[in-house]
Chain A
Amino acid sequence: MSDSSLQQRLDEVFSSFQGRAQELIPVLQAVQREFGYLSGETMLAIANFLRIPASRVFGVATFYAQFRFSAIGRKHIMACRGTACHVRGAPRIVDEIKNILKIEEGETTADGEYSLETVACIGCCGLAPCIMINGEVKAKLTPKKIAELFAKKE
């Protein structure tokens, strides 16, 4: 993305705000809506726009689970950590995904294919443990099924 088109998109986002420090969280949300995540560049631009230290933008953004700091992959994995999934082995499922894709929660694979996030519940406890990939539910998982799902990454 060239500097100028980045700036244009940011200006567009900022145009619905006044540039006051109190607007930080809505601005972070709006920027993430536009770009899918918060990059160093966009957070610096937010700091300049709101005239607050960049470290404060980062401090606030890192507090909330809703903000992410890398682009989501073409396939975005939401791994459920809700109670039902948890008791039926979600931690092992998440570990296996991390192990295979070699990423941590909130990260994206180097090739941009997969990104991983854990969520509190995706609302299909009967299918536990489960994950969603780009909105599609993969149900009643086992580490073996995970290995098959992401086979090509091995």
Chain B
Amino acid sequence: MTEINLLINGKAVVAEEGQSVLAAALAHNIYIPHLCDHPDLKPTGACRLCLVEIAGQVVTACTTQVLEGLEVKTDTAEIERVRKTTVELLLINHERNCLECASDASCELQKVAQYVGIGLHDLKKYGAAVKRVDIDDSNPFFNIDHNKCIKCGICIRTCDELQNLGVIDFANRGYDTVVSTFDGRPLIESDCKSCGECAVRCPTGAMTLKTQQTPTREEKTICPYCGCGCGMYLGVRDNKIVSARGDRENPSNSGSLCVKGRFGYEFVNSPERLTTPLIKESGEFRKATWDEALDLIAKKLVAIKGDKFALLASAKATNEDNYVLQKFVRVVMGTNNVDHCARLCHAPTVAGLAQSFGSGAMTNATKDIGMAKCIFAIGTNTTAAHPIIALQVKKVAREGGILIVANPRKIDLCRHATIFLQHKPGTDVALMMGMMRVIVDEKLQNENFIKARCDNFSEFKKSLAAFDLDFVEKTTGVAREKIIAAARAYATSGTSAILYSMGITQHTHGTDNVLATSNLALLTGNVGRPGTGVNPLRGQNNVQGACDMGALPNVYPGYQKIVDAKNQKKFESAWGAKLSNKIGLTHMEIFDAITDGKVDFLYTVGENPVLSEANAGHVIEALNEIKFFVAQDIFLTETAQFADVVLPAVTYAEKDGTFTNTERRVQRVRKIIEPIGDAKPDWWIICQLAKRLEAIRHPVLDTGSKSVRGVQCSQHSVDSAVKPRNDAVQQNEAMQRNNDAERLGKLNASGFDFENAEQIMDEITAVTPSYAGINYERLECAAGLQWPCPNNEHPGTPILHTEKFATVSGKGNFMPLVYKPSAELPDDEYPLILTTDRSLFHFHTATMTRKVKGLEELRPFEVVRINPIDAEELKINDGEMIKVISRRGEVAAKAKITIASPVGVIAMTFHFAESPTNMVTNPAVDPVAKIPETKVAAVRIEKA
């Protein structure tokens, strides 16, 4: 950064090249009145207040860049005269009921008026006040009061420049200029996504948040919704969360929040929260004490042996919670029957990318996506499911990059796409192999990269033979010209990134789909550099972390395989218990095992499989048959209602811990309010159970005694701080060496007597090589730490595979692929394909979001999105209740006629208990990853 020296009011100021005079002055504590400037937005010089004199000329400071030797005067008599009139003209058009205004005291106009020195008497000369306009209060989260609008345009530019939506613009320009939606409609009827980014930037009271209050105190934490993992400050009054705002220092979101992040905290203080344990007696729940409930569970558990027990951990819970959960299953219950909802979302990513790259996680950082010159977004409805990552995608498209969207549905992102490939559901392998065929045929592959860094290219190349464009065009339904254009764009941009999500993974060939993405990246050398990579966008706030913590049936924390005797020995030594080396049951298998009588005791933590599992009817059947079922959750979910005992857990706002977001960034979550009612942290509950079980099993032992494990683990963090670092594989190897059995042997193994989350993190870092350099002290810094972080000096790893892949050979593996159709294709009886999608306004089974009044208002019920041609053929009207029927069940919802759905394909979310879409989805699984095919099911439609 070049330094520029200038004089402002005679004071020497050092500014950065490219900075505006206004920014330079403000940075040096020299106030210049201004209203339309915002650091996130391009300057426009609209308000004419930041006038300064430079070389005898009066100019606006926001649009003038600093220059070496510039002499700036901010307050001359001429400037003061002009500025006073400008502010007066603003004020006569501004409703002046400051005391009643929500922005009183934070109002920039007020501040400017005071600075300039304007009293009400100054305004008399202008005559009558302007006519009042009605307030637009149609949006549940914020109002627009045009009577207070000063036409600075910050809201308009925010919506356009940052959100790339352009929902509002100036209309009726002239004397009647107004900030308006299209056609002057109420905000609720516009395309507004209700993120509130405009409202939080409004300098006056023209846009104000309806549901937020001024807090007594604010605390920094991480958003509990999607995998973006946005940093935020929650505001508290009494024991209630009353506000949320983005953390501008956080690199994952740089202060941006979506509608769920900014307004979706209401569920924490919902009156529907579980506040005491519940025990079911003769079919009815009754309130119970913790002692009662835990003793009852312990008594039941003691009779259960090993594999008869199964636990579903939670991608919503912290790393610390998940670590303790899987440890409990392995150490106390002696089984590996632990899994969580990653099985239903990114299991193929973990399985697939582990084969090709050696590490099943997003290769690059969120920020990085904005540096791509070409983005290939396949099977990701990014604006709905990962709104903050979508900002980066839209930014690339806006700044002239190429955005290729591949999706069976015409999703929102298509608006920004350069090329839209609308392929048929389940034909992703054919589409991507077709693109690779073009790349190879046209010799656009990166030969140097392939030679230096990849294995198995020739085998892979042979498998391309089956994908000539006639076949690909016919299979995918995409015109060959588009496939060719996409292939060329991706291969030749030089910096191309792949983004994908459930559209890739939730198939019986999900792992093949993932391998196709990694093949594409390897073929063109788009791995290991900023703006490139294969970026699976993880759905839950901590699904990455729950996987990292080993809440999976085949791996210990840090993906250390349980079938490897060395790992078994390591963890037996670390945990002081005999461990099973039998791979446990996956999510779907657990419910099969229950109906087969192989699992008698199910424990779920923060999961709602009655709504989220494919073929949910089978889950209900299993939950009716199970001998004992414990559900631990924050609400009495559809699943918890089947439980014998329900345990009340705390939310993210009531406990300390860490979440690992989609870009592998481990970030601190903080206890901001006291637990609601008698709710407890998940890890605490499990530790209590472990102690009670131990007391029953070994009555001699004093279970209350403290172990010294926590202290020893802390020491480990220090002694691992010695390794030089540059790349993932070396790190792994080094970390393995570091975790020698001798040190781990010191750990007190039986211990479930953690006193706080930090002690758990210390144990996690001792046994998890990729987390070894992470501790709470380091996480205090705003950026968190991206794993692998093998020692205390390591800064974390924003980009994986920079020099070597994490595979054994250090090379990226090309994987030959064949096209496999989806398990269930449409036929005469079930002629339509049902695919599942997401709404921006709800999250997963909507346990949390439907407790937020405004979100419920924005999307109150399920819809079946159906193409007009299909609707006409079936004589279905828009808004009509219809039944969607598959071989497994039926579900009713309102029809929504839209061209977003292609002919022959309908789409539904799984957010609504009244319309449980998963009653009809197909439980057929990917043979490798065991993920069900929730993206393709054959259905028919009838009038309800």
- Interface presence of A134 (CB below 8 A): no
Q: Which residues of B contact A55 (CB under 8 A)?
A: 166-169, 171, 180-182, 190
Closest to A44 in B: B182
Q: Which of A12-56 contact B (CB under 8 A)?
A: 40, 43-44, 47, 51-56
C-alpha spacing A52/B160, complex, angstroms:
10
- Inter-chain contact B167/A63, CB cutoff 8 Å: no
Q: List 24 A-B contacts (CB under 8 A).
A: A40-B182, A43-B183, A44-B182, A47-B182, A52-B166, A53-B160, A53-B165, A53-B166, A54-B183, A54-B191, A55-B166, A55-B168, A55-B171, A55-B181, A55-B182, A56-B166, A56-B169, A57-B182, A58-B171, A58-B182, A58-B183, A59-B170, A63-B172, A63-B173
The interface residues of chain B lying within 8 Å CB-to-CB of A62 are 171-173, 180
Chain A minimum-CB-distance residue to B190: A55
Complex interface: chain A residues within 8 A of B171 (CB): 55, 58-59, 62
How far apart are B626's CB and chain A's nearest CB, in angstroms? 52
Whether the Cβ atoms of A51 and B184 lie closer than 8 Å is: no
Q: Which residues of A sit under 8 angstroms from B182, Cβ to Cβ?
A: 40, 43-44, 47, 53-55, 57-58
Q: How far is the CA of A59 from the CA of B159 in the complex (A)?
A: 15
Asked whether B305 is an interface residue with its Cβ less than 8 Å from the other chain, the reply is no
Contact assessment for B180 and A58 in the assembled complex, using a CB-CB cutoff below 8 Å: yes
Task: Name the B residues within 8 Å of A56 (CB-CB).
Answer: 166, 169
Point out residues on A near B: beta carbons under 8 Å: 40, 43-44, 47, 51-59, 62-63
With both chains docked as a complex, state the minimum distance between the C-beta of A84 and any C-beta of chain B, in angstroms: 24
Binary interface encoding of chain B residues 252-280 relative to chain A, with 1 for a CB under 8 A from any of its CBs, else 0:
00000000000000000000000000000
Nearest-neighbor residue (CB-CB) of A52 within chain B: B166
Assuming the contacts A58-B180, A58-B184, asked whether A51 and B415 have C-beta atoms less than 8 A apart, the reply is yes
Report which residue of A47, A57, A62 has the largest number of chain B beta carbons within 10 angstroms of its beta carbon.
A62
Chain A, Cβ-Cβ closest to B178:
A62
Query: In the complex, which residues 139-179 of chain B have their Cβ closer than 8 Å to any Cβ of chain A?
Result: 160, 165-174
Nearest CB in chain A to that of B168: its residue? A55
Chain B residues with Cβ below 8 Å from A43 are 182-183
Known contacts A53-B160, A54-B191; A59/B167 CB under 8 A: no
Report Cα–Cα, A27/B924, bound state, in Å.
51
Interface size on B, residues (CB 8 A): 19
**Which B residues lie at the A interface, using CB under 8 A?**
160, 165-174, 180-184, 190-191, 415
CA distance A26 to B171 in the complex (A): 19
Contacts of A53 in B (CB 8 A): 160, 165-167, 169, 182
Q: Which residues of B contact A52 (CB under 8 A)?
A: 166
Whole-angstrom CA separation of A40 from B172 in the bound complex: 16
Q: Beyond A51-B415, A52-B166, A58-B182: 7 further Cβ-contacts under 8 Å?
A: A43-B182, A47-B182, A53-B160, A53-B169, A55-B168, A57-B182, A58-B171
Contact A58 to B173, CB < 8 A, known contacts A43-B182, A44-B182: no
Distance of B39 from chain A, by nearest CB (Å): 23
Q: How far is the CB of B195 from chain A (nearest CB, A)?
A: 15
CB of A64 to closest CB in B, whole Å: 9
Closest to B164 in A: A53
Residues of A within 8 A of B191 (CB): 54
In the complex, chain A residues whose CB is within 8 Å of the CB of B181 = 55, 58
- Nearest chain A residue, comparing its CB with the CB of B165: A53
Which residue of B is nearest A41, CB measured? B183
- Cα distance, A40 to B189, chains bound together (Å): 13
Residues of chain A within 8 A (CB-CB) of B415 are 51
Q: How far is the CB of B484 from chain A (nearest CB, A)?
A: 21
Q: Within the assembled complex, what's the spacing in Å between the Cα atoms of A57 and B184?
A: 12
Q: Smallest Cβ distance from B650 to chain A, in angstroms?
A: 42
Name the CB-closest residue of A to B415: A51
Nearest-CB residue, chain A, relative to B172 = A62
Q: Are B165 and A59 in contact (CB under 8 A)?
A: no
User: Once bound together, how far apart are the Cα atoms of A47 and B171, in whole Å?
Assistant: 15
Q: Which residues of B contact A54 (CB under 8 A)?
A: 166, 182-183, 191
Question: Nearest residue in A to B181 (C-beta to C-beta)?
Answer: A55
> In whole Å, how far is B164's beta carbon from the nearest beta carbon of chain A?
9
> In the assembled complex, how far is the CB of residue A120 from the closest CB belonging to chain B, in whole angstroms?
15
What residues on B are CB-neighbors of A57 within 8 Å?
Answer: 182
CB distance from A74 to the nearest CB of B (A): 25
Point out the residue from A40, A44, A51, A63 that lies within 8 Å of B174, measured CB to CB.
A63
- Determine if A59 and B169 form an interchain contact, defined as CB atoms under 8 angstroms apart: yes
CA distance A55 to B160 in the complex (A): 10
